[in-house]
Amino acid sequence: MLVRKIGFVSRTYRHVNRYRQILGVMIKFGFGDFIDRINMGRYFESGMQFVTRSTTKRLDTLTRAERVRMAIEELGPTFVKLGQILSTRPDLLPADMIAELEKLQDDVVHVPFDDIRSVVEEELETTLEQLFERFDVEPVAAASIGQVHRARLASGDEVIVKVRRPGISSRVKVDLEILHHLASLAEEYVEEAQLFRPVKIAEEFARTLENEIDYTVEASYAERFANQFRDNEAIYVPRIFREYTTSRILVMEYVEGIKASKLDRLDGEGYDRKLIAERGADLLLAQIFDYGFFHADPHPGNIFILPDNVICYLDFGMMGSVDRRSRDELADMVFAIVQGDERKVTDALLAIVETEEDPDRRLLESDMSHLIELYAFKPLKEIRIAQVLNKILNLISRHRLRLPFDKYLMIKALATTEGVGFMLDPDFDMTARAAPFIRRLKLQRFMPGRIVEELMDTGGDAVKLFRELPRETHDILRQIKQGKIRATFDHRGLEPLIQSMEHSANRLAVGLVAGSLVIGSSVMIGLEAGPFLFGISAVGLAGILLAGLLGVYLFFR
């Protein structure tokens, strides 16, 4: 990972110049009070003496949000990227700050072509002329991290070549380490910042930017994405040329298509906008609910429409992933909203979010009830998923909860896709497209294979626990005997805990029995041991049925 904690030597010699720039910009735009609050001078006496507060501008006519945006723009690529990511997080920032950060753009000058040539030839260890039949000097696009050129390989394949800017990796690494340190100071000294866990945000941002800088990660994402839909004719994923791709260069097939936002061209060339909207929604819902790996930035600029209304995704630098449990939790929440059950919605929401302390459950359910009332009696086609999700995000922020980054990316992707769908087809109904996926996900939990799989997982975990318990207990007793552990026991109020442990132990025992029945019954069926019922071992069949009943019992407990 690019980010690490800053040690004494690093901050004295390696980071001092960049710290001086950052502190100077913060003071220039009126954030000297923040520097004082995080006790910066205590850590950087050697650098603070070079920073003067006399450079502060008259900022009376600017709002705090405007000053934040201007400071970020002056601080450069790393901070611009951070601002762009935070501009999509209404659960973390107020509306006025979001509006300003949305104005941030990668407004950068082009890297001279000689520098691009040097990077390509250094990475691929040969000359540009030997690799490419043609390599356009003028870039197609330029951003803070990389620059994109069109080219034709010696094989005749038309490609785009994304080249990382020279020196950007070391610059980003230093900035990330400084950001991590600033976040740790804010978390330590600024009480209101502790709620948002700025250190965790800095670490999540570092992982995101690290993946964006390493083009082999984007190449792997694109190939995994393509593999998911290899048999789906409604989608096309550009080919990655692995033999020419490194951490600093990405070579991808050039695709000629129409951007999803070019409605006039789509109409003029006879494309079916309604079908495109439905396909786009189905593809994203499949990514989330079927595969758990999805394109996290499906805005119109990253979607091309090809002949026969085929959808082509571009730019795989930001992808999201959600495990099966997270998908189940989202389905539970949406299903409970439709049912109008605020208790179940609250349970599902609390399973999704992170929190340092338990929220006021009664107040949270009350707010959730008001939210449900807005949609309880509306036809499904009138319910906008983006509106529902935004209200849930506002509720999360109001109750001082925090949404994990990947789950936020999932919500953002759903909202973005719904917006693209409405742009293509004013009658588009995202809720109707999502309903079959959610129903299928709910039904899958009751499939015998899923029940058996979860029982086997539980049984395996229990066996591992019982196998390791004697050794772990022996180690603890040995440390107590050696005086390394001292424990004081206060037995007041343990009755609820004991009762809870007894219930848990009972459920664990039932799970072990059910798992054993599945294994034993399978053996009996395989051995074809009589007597038989419908040609199947009656003993084995009875064992499977009993295990299924125990599994249903565990599920409802």
420 shares a domain with 472: no
DSSP states of 369-403: HHHHHHHTTS-GGG--HHHHHHHHHHHHHHTT-B-
423 shares a domain with 327: yes
Domain interval for residue 454: 448-483+501-556
CA dihedral 107, 111, 113, 116 (to 10 degrees): -120
479 shares a domain with 456: yes
Closest listed residue to residue 404, CA positions, set 359, 356, 353, 355? 353
42 shares a domain with 190: yes
335 shares a domain with 427: yes
Q: Is residue 225 part of a domain?
A: no
Q: Is residue 13 part of a domain?
A: yes
513 shares a domain with 406: no
404 shares a domain with 270: yes
pTM of this structure: 0.70
317 shares a domain with 191: no
Q: How far is CA 106 from CA 32, 96, 142, 325, in A?
A: 27, 21, 8, 36
SS3 label, residue 312:
strand
In the chain, the N- to C-terminal Cα span, in Å, equals 42
User: What is the full per-residue pLDDT of the chain (557 aa) written as tens digits?
Assistant: 444 554 433 444 557 788 888 888 888 888 877 877 877 655 555 444 544 554 445 666 888 888 888 888 888 888 888 888 888 777 677 778 888 888 886 666 788 999 999 999 999 999 999 999 999 999 998 888 889 999 999 999 999 999 999 988 888 888 888 888 888 888 888 777 776 778 888 888 888 888 888 999 999 999 999 999 999 999 999 999 999 999 999 999 999 999 998 999 999 999 999 999 999 999 999 999 889 999 998 888 889 999 999 999 998 988 988 888 888 887 778 777 767 778 888 888 888 887 767 788 888 888 888 888 877 666 666 777 777 778 888 888 788 788 888 888 888 898 889 989 999 999 898 888 888 888 887 777 666 655 555 555 565 556 666 667 777 776 777 777 666 666 555 555 556 666 667 767 777 776 777 677 677 667 666 666 667 666 666 666 677 777 777 777 666 66
Structural domains counted in the chain: 3
272 shares a domain with 416: yes
54 shares a domain with 178: yes
419 shares a domain with 530: no
The answer to whether the beta carbons of residues 120 and 86 sit under 8 Å apart is: no
Q: Is residue 397 part of a domain?
A: yes
167: left (phi > 0), else alpha (psi -120 to 50), else beta?
Answer: left
Q: Is residue 462 part of a domain?
A: yes
Residue type, 232: N
- Among 175, 282, 297, 328, the one annotated catalytic: 297
Note if 264 is an active site residue.
no
Dist. CA 399–CA 359, nearest whole Å: 7
DSSP states of 448-474: HHHHHHHHHHHHHHHHHHHHHHHHHHH
Dist. CA 542–CA 39, nearest whole Å: 70
Q: Is residue 150 part of a domain?
A: no
SS3 label, residue 62:
coil
